[in-house]
Structure 1
Amino acid sequence: MKTKIALTLFLWLTSCSVIPQTKANNLPPSFPPEDYSLIWSDEFNTDGLPDPKNWIYDTEANKTGWYNNELQYYAVANPDYSHIENGKLIITARKEKLTTKSDYGGQEYTSARLITRDKASWTYGFIEVRAKLPKGVGTWPAIWMLGTEDQPWPVNGEIDIMEQVGKDPTKIHATIHTAATKGTFGIGTSTTINDADTAFHNYQLYWTAEYIIIGVDDVPYFTFKNPGTGTKEWPFDKPQYLILNIAIGGDMGGPEVDDDIFPTSMEVDYVRVYQAK
């Protein structure tokens, strides 16, 4: 595994493309790749519900309705929407109303949103999530991170390792949000993966005090450089926790939802976090 990480970081640091807002002449030295070690993982090897030692369910806005005009309700500890089977975490979105739940907010769709908040968080490292994305117009799967501090969004930062929408299934997005970014669109770019909803790919984040680099299958496509001008532009010197979810519709997923796609699932083979010793 050390050989894989060393190769990954070497390739990222020598071939990384940058967007204009973050272009720099030289990438900084990385942590010595051979000193990176696995510090946290979930291999999803035990069938049943997700491991409560690693994950909790985010239901914050079920009653009021989720942000970005999203259409889903997020279920808690319900295997119809999140469970482990045959070594994979399966997050499933369905066209179902959970009307008996006390926090039901009138949603026609139900999914799950798993987070490591209060279980695990990290500052810097190499994070890899191997996943196969859902199919269908209206889906909005994401692998992303938020800061642990109780601050109005996006003061403590957001790192979107992977976002995709079913209406444009071959486009994979990487984005960062800070208090300095305009509106809700953040700063980011995209790459093309032709089989993201039929094959597993490795979605990767390399995060240091100087750079955030995001890639797929060891190929980088987005870099954000620490401008050195303070927390407003770089809140990424504090812990962030991981989020896995499928949203439905919303500002990014689009107003059109094809009800014939349901149920549709995101499958996650593993989550692995490495840091320098």
Structure 2
Amino acid sequence: MTSSAPSPTSTSASTPTSSATSTTAAAPVGIPGTWNRVFSDEFNGTSLDGSKWNSNWFGCSGCVTKPVNSAEASAYSPSQVSVSDGSLHLKLIEQPTTVGGKTYPYVSGLVNSNGKAQFTYGAFEARIYAPSSGTKMANWPAFWTDGQNWPTDGEMDILEGLGGSACYHFHSDAGGPGGCASGTYSGGWHTFGAEWKQGSVTYYYDGKQVGQITSGITSAPMYLILNNGINPDHSGTNVVPADMMVDYVRVWQH
């Protein structure tokens, strides 16, 4: 989910880090090694945890904000973000919404941890129920991380629904290599993970390695993002309304 512009610098006076206490936990699915969990949200409450997440893209708290990418057709509103039944819900609906003088035909949900939790290296995982169009992934759902200075600080796309496929990339000044996994990753719960370490990112879907990138890997801290986007050019796989559900988000480090 490439940003349309560099991310603004966090308003925090120092580099934000997770406030969660590191605890020993089960390893991420399929990723080998010994891990300590440093961040998690199980979404078991009745509202979004504001100590961990912002409920829109960059702008004032509670505001409706423009899309992340200029190819998107939906604005992002906190009203489209909710927590219930043990899941985070990011709901895309058809509702013309004007932001900054431009009207978007849809409005949807996004959360990010900028200013509240960010990490250099580790294992990142989310269990997601992505919108579906038949056997294909619908719309433009994404689970990704981003640095403060895009693309220099890096962007790690752990899951990006593109043209019906589940895809992964790593963006930096060196480019944006990546690929798409074979198989069906919509219409049910699936885990999407990545191990980011010096010089490489290895991607795991449902515990199986689906790809690895070894060029242009950055080392600056990155924060977490989940969003349920839509691109009108993907008309063959777009479905509205659509609910992207997230069972949990977890981060581990050695």
TM-score normalised over the length of structure 1: 0.73
Q: Given the alignment, which residue of 116, 129, 133 partners 1:132?
A: 129
Q: Deviations over 1:23-57 (max 9, x none)?
A: xxxxxxxxxx23x1111100000013x11111013
Residue 24 of structure 1: aligned partner: none
Q: Given the alignment, which residue of 223, 241, 246 partners 2:223?
A: 241
Q: Given the alignment, which residue of 179, 197, 219 partners 1:189?
A: 179
* Fraction of identical pairs, as percent: 25
Taking the aligned partners of 1:138 and 1:8, their CA distance within structure 2 comes to 26
Taking the aligned partners of 2:142 and 2:25, their CA distance within structure 1 comes to 28
Please list every run of 5 or more consecutive structure 1 residues that lacks an aligned counterpart in the other structure.
11-32, 227-232
Q: Given the alignment, which residue of 153, 156, 163 partners 1:156?
A: 153
Q: Deviations over 1:73-113 (max 9, x none)?
A: 1002x1xx1101110001010001245xx656311100012
| Partner SS for 2:27 | helix
Larger Rg computed on CA atoms: 1
Alignment of 1:177 with 2:171, yes or no, is: yes
Q: Residues 240, 135 of structure 1: CA spacing in aligned structure 2 closer, same or farther, 3 A cutoff?
A: same
Question: What residue identity is the alignment partner of 1:120?
Answer: A
Q: Give the length in aligned residue pairs.
A: 225
Q: Deviations over 1:174-220 (max 9, x none)?
A: 10111111xxxx200111232x2211111001111132111101111
Question: What residue identity is the alignment partner of 1:237?
Answer: S
Taking the aligned partners of 1:189 and 1:258, their CA distance within structure 2 comes to 19
Q: Residues 9, 97 of structure 1: CA spacing in aligned structure 2 closer, same or farther, 3 A cutoff?
A: same
Q: Residues 140, 47 of structure 1: CA spacing in aligned structure 2 closer, same or farther, 3 A cutoff?
A: same
Please list every run of 5 or more consecutive structure 2 residues that lacks an aligned counterpart in the other structure.
1-22
Q: Residues 218, 42 of structure 1: CA spacing in aligned structure 2 closer, same or farther, 3 A cutoff?
A: same
The aligned runs of 1:78-157 (5 Å cut-off) are 78=79, 81-98=80-97, 103=100, 105-136=102-133, 139-148=139-148, 151=149, 153-157=150-154
TM-score normalised over the length of structure 2: 0.79
Q: Is the 8 A contact 1:90 1:265 kept in 2?
A: yes
Q: Residues 210, 255 of structure 1: CA spacing in aligned structure 2 closer, same or farther, 3 A cutoff?
A: closer
Cα deviation for residue 222 of structure 1 reads 1.4
Taking the aligned partners of 2:36 and 2:237, their CA distance within structure 1 comes to 43
Question: What residue identity is the alignment partner of 1:147?
Answer: G
Cα deviation for residue 2 of structure 1 reads 7.2
The aligned runs of 1:1-277 (5 Å cut-off) are 5=27, 8-10=30-32, 33-34=33-34, 36-48=35-47, 50-60=48-58, 66-76=68-78, 78=79, 81-98=80-97, 103=100, 105-136=102-133, 139-148=139-148, 151=149, 153-165=150-162, 167-168=163-164, 171-181=165-175, 186-194=176-184, 196-225=185-214, 233-234=216-217, 236-249=218-231, 254=233, 256=235, 261-276=239-254
Question: What residue identity is the alignment partner of 2:193?
Answer: Q
CA RMSD in angstroms comes to 2.6
Question: What residue identity is the alignment partner of 1:175?
Answer: H
Question: What residue identity is the alignment partner of 1:244?
Answer: L
Taking the aligned partners of 2:211 and 2:237, their CA distance within structure 1 comes to 31
Taking the aligned partners of 2:28 and 2:56, their CA distance within structure 1 comes to 34
Q: Is the 8 A contact 1:132 1:197 kept in 2?
A: yes
Q: Residues 123, 65 of structure 1: CA spacing in aligned structure 2 closer, same or farther, 3 A cutoff?
A: closer
| Partner SS for 1:249 | coil
Higher helix share: 1
Higher strand share: 2
Q: Is the 8 A contact 1:145 1:243 kept in 2?
A: yes
Taking the aligned partners of 1:57 and 1:3, their CA distance within structure 2 comes to 27
Taking the aligned partners of 1:52 and 1:113, their CA distance within structure 2 comes to 13
